[in-house]
Amino acid sequence: MPTFAGYVARRLLAGVVVLWGAATVTFVALHRVGGDPVDAVVGPGVSPTPSLRRQITEEYGFDQPLIVQYGRWLGRLLGGDLGRSYQLGRPVSAVLADQVRPTCALALSAVLLAGVLAVVTALATAGRGRLVRGLVSGAELAVVSLPSFWVGLLALTFLSFRWHLFPVAGDQGFAALVLPAVTLALPVAGVLAQVLRQSLDEALTQPFVLTVRTRGVPEALVLARHALRHAAIPVVTLAGWVVGSLLGGAVLIETVFARPGLGRVLLAAVGSRDTPVVAAIVLLSAAAFTCANLLVDLVCPALDPRLRTAPATRRTPPMPVTVAKETPA
């Protein structure tokens, strides 16, 4: 009989394994199998002198067997050392520390906005007539399909430059956050609203809802007390996907709105092939994703008692494609 503590322990272990795998992938990328790592350190277009080459090789330990380098790298990672930026010559952690705050502000405000938007539209349209639902699902489709960076560009063009409603760029206070946050939130809100509405509709056709109605329970309570809880479960499992798409989207949105943040740093690092920085940011986002999924694993049994007595051996995270809900269970 599996206990809940055992379940939590297994989920934690699975999370650690995933993170270790993610670290391994980034190590492989870092050491560019087949390429000369020294070239990466000096940057593109520079041919290092033999003495510089030797110095770099020794400093970074490139002369060691790959497995030793891997072990050392993992060890440093565990100690919180993300390495040194090739281009900036500073520790990666210091580079990131400056930039985490604006990205977090952006992502958090976007996720709040997306959640509110999704719940409001889903509740307002669940079980409604054909016309309302047709319009809303059309809007959702549009919001999910439009490239967010293009929407950002348009918003910038018209709301900032033409009509001067919002600041043009930068990280100056709340007003500068509005357009980027909305742009980042819209596609996420679209997906969440779709999933929530579909699962609400599905829950409302279940026999237990008929039972509740035959008890004389008002429709608002049928939604709030019963259907919403059933519908929440598939939405909650999307948390990992939400984290991923917000971090990915932030790269684009920060570029469009010329905001400082991890996304800008990442882009600069990709352009200059500053692999330690790229690896660190990618690894961080993998960690955020894994933590989100861990939380989901802990929250789902709270929502669904069936998972408490017989926790699923492995929960499959949902497809990261616009509502790829294949067949309703």
Partner 1 sequence: MSATASLLAHPRVGRAARAARLRPGAVPALVVVTCAVLAALWPDLLTDHSPDTTAPARALRPPDTEHLFGTDQLGRDVYARVVYGARLSLEIGVGATVIGSVVGTVIGLVAGLGGRAADAVSMRATDVLTAFPELLLALLVITVTGPGTTNVLVSIGVASVPGYARLVRSRALVVRRADFVEAGVALGVSRPALVLRHILPNTVGPLLVLASIGTGTAVVSGAALSYLGMGPRPPAAEWGVMLADGQDFVQTAWWITVFPGLAVAAVVMAVTVLGRTLRERGTEATR
Partner 2 sequence: MTAPTRTEPAATGRRARTPLVEIAKLRVDFGTGGRRVRAVDAVDLSVAPGECLALVGESGSGKSVTARALVGLAGPRAHVSCDRMLVDGRDATRFDARAWRGVRGRRIGFVLQDALVSLDVLRTVGAEVAEPLRTHAVVPRGRVHTRVLDLLADAGIPDPARRVRQYPHQLSGGLRQRALIASALAAEPALLIADEPTTALDVTVQAQILDLLADKRAGGMGLLLISHDLAVVSRVADRVAVMRDGVIVEQGPAARVLTQPEHPYTRLLLAAVPSGRTRGRRLSPGPDDTRPEEPTHTPRPGSDPTSVTGPRRTRPAHRDTPLVEAHAVGRSFTDADGSVRDAVREFAVTIHPGEAVGLVGESGSGKTTAARLLLGLVTPDTGTVRFDGRPWSTMPERARRPLRRRLQVITQDPLGSFDPRWSVGRLLGEALGTVGVRRGAARRERTVDLLLRVGLAADHLGRRPATLSGGQRQRVAIARALATEPQVLVCDEPVSALDVSVQAQVLDLLADLRESHGLALLFISHDLGVVHHVCDRVLVMHDGRVVEQGDVDRVFADPEHAYTRTLLHALPGRDLGPGASPAPPPPPPGVAADFLSFRRTDR
Stretch that binds partner 2, among 176-184, 204-212, 270-278, 318-326 (CB under 8 A): 204-212
Q: Which does 55 bind (CB under 5 to 8 A by kind): partner 2, partner 1, none?
A: none
116 close to 182: Cβ distance less than 8 angstroms: no
283 close to 22: Cβ distance less than 8 angstroms: yes
185 close to 113: Cβ distance less than 8 angstroms: yes
Give me the least distance between CB of 247 and partner 1, in Å please: 5
When asked if residue 124 is in the footprint of partner 2 (CB under 8 A), the reply is: no
Could you please report the per-residue DSSP string of 50-72?
HHHHHHHHHHHTTTS-HHHHHHH
When asked if residue 107 is in the footprint of partner 1 (CB under 8 A), the reply is: no
Binding mask 279-318 for partner 2 (x = CB under 8 A): ------------------------xxxx--xx--x-----
When asked if residue 321 is in the footprint of partner 2 (CB under 8 A), the reply is: no
Q: CB-side exposure of 211: number of CA atoms within 13 Å? A: 6
The footprint of partner 2 on residues 209-268 (CB under 8 A) is 210-219, 226, 229-230
Binding mask 300-319 for partner 1 (x = CB under 8 A): ----------------xx-x
When asked if residue 157 is in the footprint of partner 1 (CB under 8 A), the reply is: yes
Binding mask 158-197 for partner 1 (x = CB under 8 A): x--x------------------------------------
Q: What is the size of the binding site for partner 1 (CB under 8 A)?
A: 64
When asked if residue 128 is in the footprint of partner 1 (CB under 8 A), the reply is: no
The amino acid occupying position 305 is P
Tokens of 135: 């319009």
Nearest CA among 201, 186, 188 for reference residue 154: 186
Give me the least distance between CB of 323 and partner 1, in Å please: 9
d(CA 324, CA 4): 30
Q: Which does 215 bind (CB under 5 to 8 A by kind): partner 1, partner 2, none?
A: partner 2
Which single residue is written with the structure tokens 């072990």?
Answer: 71
Could you please report the per-residue DSSP string of 269-318?
HHHTT-HHHHHHHHHHHHHHHHHHHHHHHHHHHHH-THHHHS--S-PPPP
Residue 172: DSSP 8-state? -
Residues with Cβ within 8 Å of 109's Cβ and at least 6 positions away in sequence, in order, are 177, 181, 185
Per DSSP, the three-state class of 91 is: strand
Positions touching partner 1 (CB under 8 A) are 14, 17-19, 21-22, 24-26, 29, 32, 134, 138, 141-142, 144-147, 149-150, 153-154, 156-158, 161, 205, 207, 210, 243-245, 247-249, 251-252, 255-256, 266-267, 269-271, 273, 275, 278-279, 281-282, 285-286, 289-290, 316-317, 319-322, 324, 326-327
Positions touching partner 2 (CB under 8 A) are 1-2, 127, 206-208, 210-219, 226, 229-230, 303-306, 309-310, 313
